Structure formats: structure tokens, C-alpha cells
Amino acid sequence: MSTAARVESLPPEPAHRHIVRRTVEACRLAKEAAGAAAEGIATGSAPLLNSLQERELDALDMEIDSAVTTAITEVEPAEARELLACMKFMISLERIGDLLLSFANSAQAAAGRVDSEDTRDLTQMATILEKMLTDVGDAFSTRDVGKAVGALRSDAEMDRLRNLIFLRHIENPENIARQASLQVIFMTQSLERAGDHAKNLAEEVCHVVSGHTVRHVLMAYDKPVEQMFIDYLRRRDQH
């Protein structure tokens, strides 16, 4: 049988699986945009910053919203919860796209006037956001709560970097003349809020996969090593 014939003989993909796959694809697009933001601010590349358009995310948002409306009436409750999670994902991902576009606009307005300290910290924030979105996409695709927890914990570093930048530009204890403070603060806020949306996505994965609130999931991951080893021995004995 030819390859073409084998492909034609495959059954059509169930609607809910298609929607989940497209949602994971939206995570990838958002992750790539965050990576472009990191490289764009690090190198001052106007083409990279200009590439941060959200048209593809907007199109996916409309596609998934329409598909979920039809599919959710034709699936079992577990699959319906998954579809609702996809809609929540797209709301946050579309907002992340807006925030990265705002970041790019501010970066272009600053055009070479951003201090090296700010460039370093903004690059790190965008890189952390890229990693959070990578982990969230993988967690949703593979039902890996551990990766979702990793994304949740990354948010604290985003907040720390935001505070450092704000301290330099708003309090400025050394009374140093700073460049492009307004644009730097706008860029920082955009990345920090995008990180908050990525954190919301990680919380949604934890809930969908485990059926528990984030607080309960984090309690399980914050056990002492000794308790985790005891739990492992108990599970092993049960098998």
C-alpha cells in the first residue's frame, strides 16, 4: 500500500484532540514570540522586535473558540473540562501576545537608549517567560504536573527582576541619571504581566491534570525528601 493510501485510510482526528493540539501549537507560538523578545532586546534587533505580531495567535483564538462551541456538546465530561481549559489557555495566550507586542513597541521607542543593566535584566525576564511557556505547553501536552509546577515557581524570579528594575528607575537610591526610564518601566510591566498569565496557565494545567487546586499540588511537591522517599516505598509495596 502506498504512503498516500495509508494516510487516506487513517480515521479523522477527534475534534477535542484537534483542539488540544492546536492549543499546544498556540503555546509554541507564544514561546517563540518570547524568545524573539529576549533576543531582540539583547541585540537591539529591529527585525526581531518587528516580528512580534500576534496575528497567528488571534487567528488560533478565533478558531479554537468556534471549535469548542461546537465540540463541547458532543464529548464526555472529562473531555469537556479539557476543552474549557483550551479556551482559558487561548484567553491568556492572546493576552501574552498583546503584552509582547507592547514590549516590542516600547523597546523600539527606546531605540538604543537602554542601559546595559536594564538590557540584561529585561533579557533574563523574557528568557524566563520563554521557559515558562515551554514548560506550560509541554505540561499540557503530556499531562506533566511537574513541569507546570516548575513554571509556577519561575514567577518568583520574574517578580525579583521587576523589583530590581523598578528600584533603579523609580527609587534610584544612587541618584544615577537613567535613560529611557518610562520605556524600561513599560517593558518591565509587560513582561511581568505576561509572566502572570503564564503562571495562570500552569495553574490551569495543575487543575486539569490532578483535579486538585494549586495549593494541594504544591503541598505535594513541597514535601521533605524523606517523606517523598517513604511515599515511594509505600507505592512500591502496593504494587
List, for residues 164-217, the tens digit of each pLDDT value. Answer: 999 999 887 777 778 899 999 999 999 999 999 999 999 899 888 877 666 655
State if pTM tops 0.85: no
Buried/exposed 173-205: b ≥16 CB within 10 Å, e otherwise: eeeeebebbebbbbbbbbbbbbbbbbbbbbbbb
Sign of CA dihedral 202, 185, 58, 111: negative
List, for residues 2-33, the tens digit of each pLDDT value. Answer: 555 454 554 667 888 889 999 999 999 999 99
List, for residues 71-104, the tens digit of each pLDDT value. Answer: 888 888 888 888 999 999 999 999 999 999 999 9
Tell me, what's the pLDDT at 228? 43
Residue 56 grid coordinates: 497567528
Tell me, what's the pLDDT at 1? 47
Contacts of 220 by beta carbon, 8 Å cutoff, 6+ apart = none
Tell me, what's the pLDDT at 232? 44
Angstrom distance (rounded) from CA 169 to CA 167: 6
The answer to whether 217 and 202 are in contact (CB under 8 A) is no
Tell me, what's the pLDDT at 220? 59
